[in-house]
Copies of this chain bind each other. A is one copy, B any other.
């Protein structure tokens, strides 16, 4: 299985902030001494698949970012069901979306693969925003981007039919997350259903159709995309 590749930077496990791959993407306006101060109020943890990283309704005390792994952002609906807002990979700034909007999280974050996560105290971040104008701009730009991406993804999804939605999820995993035509599906059929706003049975049916149409192969948890071009076409036209 391939490693995560994000913008050609291989994600490492360095515990030192100043050497963290995030630095160049997010904290580049901070000097070493400022970064070291942030180091002091950060807290790095690992999570197993299925473990809850933060829970809907709990107080927002940290800027969370995903160092390594894969997570889902999800909300529970009134009728006991779950709805997945987004599946996020490293560098997706998972906690940024409602960091400053609310005192409590509007959604839960759960690991769907083993994760390494950094929590940085929110007051520490706020202090840096207030005292470092460039950092403020950087945060704002990142936040805007994250929000817009999520919104546009939802928008695009709502325009597609069942086949188009399934295809776009498969393209997402193969192109954006794993960068490979063969990968272990990290989510259940039911979770895919929650993500694309359809029912489990129809997710399965469409998988079977794609298999019969020789677009994908399914070997237990492994998906192999045989015909990426058709998949992309279905994803776009569907």
Contacts and interface: CB of A to CB of B under 8 A. Distances in A.
Contacts of A139: 140
Q: Is the interface of A mostly helix, strand, loop or mixed?
A: helix
14 contacts: A83-B155, A85-B151, A97-B147, A97-B151, A98-B144, A99-B144, A100-B143, A101-B145, A102-B144, A130-B136, A131-B133, A133-B133, A140-B143, A147-B147
Contacts of A99: 144
**Taking the full assembly, how many copies of this chain does it contain?**
2
Contact of A100 (B85, B129, B140, B150): B140
A158 interface: yes
Contact of A106 (B77, B134, B140, B152): B152
A34 B154 CA distance: 39
B144 A100 contact: yes
Interface in A110-146: 126, 129-131, 133-134, 136-137, 139-141, 143-145
The 4 closest A-B pairs by CB, nearest first: A130-B133, A101-B144, A136-B136, A147-B147
A143 B131 CA distance: 20
